[in-house]
Amino acid sequence: MLLFSAHQIYTKHFTGDIMSDINRKHGKRKFLFVKILILIVLVLAIACGCAYYYLNSELNKINRNVSIEDSEYDITEVLNYFGTDDKYGITETDDVELLNDSHVKNILLIGQDRRTGDKKYQRSDVIMIYSINTKTDEISLVSIMRDLYVPIYVSEDEIMYGPINYSLLRGGPTCLCKTIESDFGITLDGYMLVDFYQFVDALNELEDGTLDIELTQEEADYLNTHNSWESQAGATNIDWTLHEGTNTMSSEQVLSYCRLRYIDNDFHRVERQQATINAIYNKLSKEDIKEILQYINDVLPHMYTDLTNKEIIKYAYTMYKSGMKIKNTYRLPIDDSYTQEIVNDENYANGSDLHLIIPDMDKNVEAIQKYLYDYD
């Protein structure tokens, strides 16, 4: 028979009570920790949900779903000269493969020549692909010359031939996007469209409404002495003192710079347009995410797009998180792949000269697909 002393029994009983109390307290603390953790998760979820709801509601300010019927476009002038006849032997590109890559997202930036009193869609002065590559963490800008003579895909059953900038006038952004995809085999994931006034308004939403742009002396002299768009908008260049080198330029000055071609040609103009987009991106990339989102909120009402709220948030976050930079610029047509024609016809713009760029489609399709999708 085993005998236990009173001391042993007391010690065992007391120790057991202590351990039981410790376990109960530990359990309570553990339960309290779990409750706090759940509360933190709920607070974060609510905060994220509220932030997403707010951002989503702000993105709803953007202009969407503008139908071509709203444009009331007038293409009589176009059809009098152009039409369904291929005047320069451009081969239809029905057999071009439409490339797509989950790592490459192409957004078409469109700047149209629309002024006070003009109808919804006019010819596009700027046709630029803003290409985001998440594999290389790089952004590329690809400009398409506005006078590029191509098949214009009006619908599944209608093809006309003419300068690519007439696609917007003929059938709105949908027609322009379809034409680029069909002619060059590039998947476009959306578009953003502005006119002169919307471009100026968007630039004014930047911090202090200015951009730093590098000018040559010839560019500065011309901008200081020639009124063009700004005179139509009620602005003036009387007090402009632009100079060679870096200039902090107002929104009206930047627009005039983007449209400048009379000292050289359209090829140099697309370089100026690319320099402007680069300057905007560089200025925004120096801001924190709060300021970037505020700018997006402020600028959205000044443009049209078919991008969804989710896509806009995703692309903005991807570029910000990766610290992407605009590394490359490109142009269609590529060098040594085109000829130029000057047409003077009374059926076109009262007999004014029409400049056309006649591309070698095979060379340009191969070049742009290789450039954007990086295939061998």
Written as tens digits, the pLDDT of the chain (376 aa) is: 444 454 554 445 555 555 555 555 555 565 666 667 676 766 655 555 555 566 666 667 676 655 444 444 555 555 556 778 888 887 655 678 899 999 999 999 999 887 766 667 888 999 999 999 999 999 999 999 999 999 999 888 888 899 999 899 888 899 999 999 999 999 999 999 988 888 888 899 888 889 999 999 999 999 998 876 555 555 667 789 999 999 999 998 999 999 899 899 999 999 999 999 999 998 988 888 778 777 877 887 788 889 888 888 888 888 888 888 898 899 999 999 999 998 876 655 556 678 899 999 999 999 999 999 986 5
Give bridge partners of residue 161 from the DSSP assignment. Answer: 83, 151
Using CA atoms, how far apart are residues 110 and 372, in angstroms rounded to an integer? 19
pLDDT of residue 338: 95
pLDDT of residue 67: 47
pLDDT of residue 1: 45
pLDDT of residue 294: 77
Neighbours of 138 (CB within 10 A): 15
Domains of the chain: 56-373 (3.40.630.190)
Q: Pull the structure tokens for residue 144.
A: 């398409």
pLDDT of residue 22: 52
Q: Under DSSP, is residue 115 helix (H, G, I), strand (E, B) or coil?
A: coil
Report which of 78, 90, 56 is spatially closest to residue 154, judged by C-alpha positions: 78
Helices assigned H by DSSP within the chain: 6-59, 76-81, 166-184, 196-204, 217-225, 229-232, 251-259, 266-285, 289-299, 309-322, 361-373
pLDDT of residue 101: 94
* C-alpha 82 chain-centroid distance: 30
Region label for 44, one of left (φ > 0), alpha (ψ between -120 and 50) or beta (otherwise): alpha
